[in-house]
Amino acid sequence: MKLYTFFRSSAAYRVRIALNVKGLSYEKASIHLSRGGGQQHADSFRAVNAQMRVPVLALPGGEILTQSLAIIEYLEETQPQPPLLPRDAIARARVRAAAQLIACDIHPLNNTSPLRYIKNALGADQAAIDAWYRHWVIAGFEALETMLRPGPYAFGPEVTLADICIVPQVANARRFGVPIDRFSNIVAIDAACAKLSSFVDARPDNQPDAE
């Protein structure tokens, strides 16, 4: 398998964690999202993913998978051990809701594309952009904090899809100076995951393309 990734992409970070948790080996192909105007815009990568975003997982048979949650769900279905979703249907729905709160509500508003649009098309200065970023992270974390269950992980004693989404979002929040200490459950989950090699090895600063 080949994972098209970028060390700072939180979506790619999620997939790196999932691959590590599943114990799967894979090749990394770095797509730098800002160098030279963004390597994702090159024709060669556009042919891989018309949306021009990472992550992309290329399977040994030549199939191409996009979108982090879809990729992780594929891994869960084809490599079910260790599981990332509970067996109980209600518990699965709750884990997915927490993951989607991040991947569908917080992250899209904080992704590089909308932030660049706010700056270049709408003329917002960096202070306004940073305020936008912090607002949506805090709004999302306020809801997420109430959804979590007793730990050490987001929904109990086992790592789930929710943890895989929480840790990259926490890393991004800290990078942009978002005050998150009041979210004690989220901070504790991040600390618990930081003890696991599958999460540590996926960290942005541990990637070969890290700057």
User: For the chain, which domains are there?
Assistant: 2-82 (3.40.30.10), 89-198 (1.20.1050.10)
Question: Dihedrals φ, ψ of 90, to 5°?
Answer: -65, -45
Query: Residue 88: phi, psi to the nearest 5?
Result: -70, 135
What pLDDT is stored for residue 1 in this prediction?
A: 96
In whole numbers, what is the pLDDT of the chain averaged over residues?
Answer: 95
d(CA 33, CA 127): 22
Using the predicted structure, report yes or no on whether residue 170 has a pLDDT greater than 90: yes
CA distances from 43 to 19, 35, 39, 115 (A): 27, 15, 9, 23
Secondary structure (3-state) at 30: strand
Structural contact between residues 175 and 13, judged by C-beta atoms closer than 8 angstroms: no
CA dihedral 17, 180, 91, 66 (to 10 degrees): -40
Burial bucket for residue 206 (CB in 10 Å: 0-12, 13-18, 19+): exposed
Q: Rounded distance, CA 186 to CA 158, Å? A: 15
Distance CA 129, CA 28 (A): 31
- Residue 116: the pLDDT is 83
Coil, strand or helix at 22: coil
pLDDT in tens, 109-127: 888 888 888 988 999 898 9
**Span 14-69, pLDDT tens digits:** 999 999 999 999 999 999 988 888 999 999 999 999 999 999 999 999 999 999 99
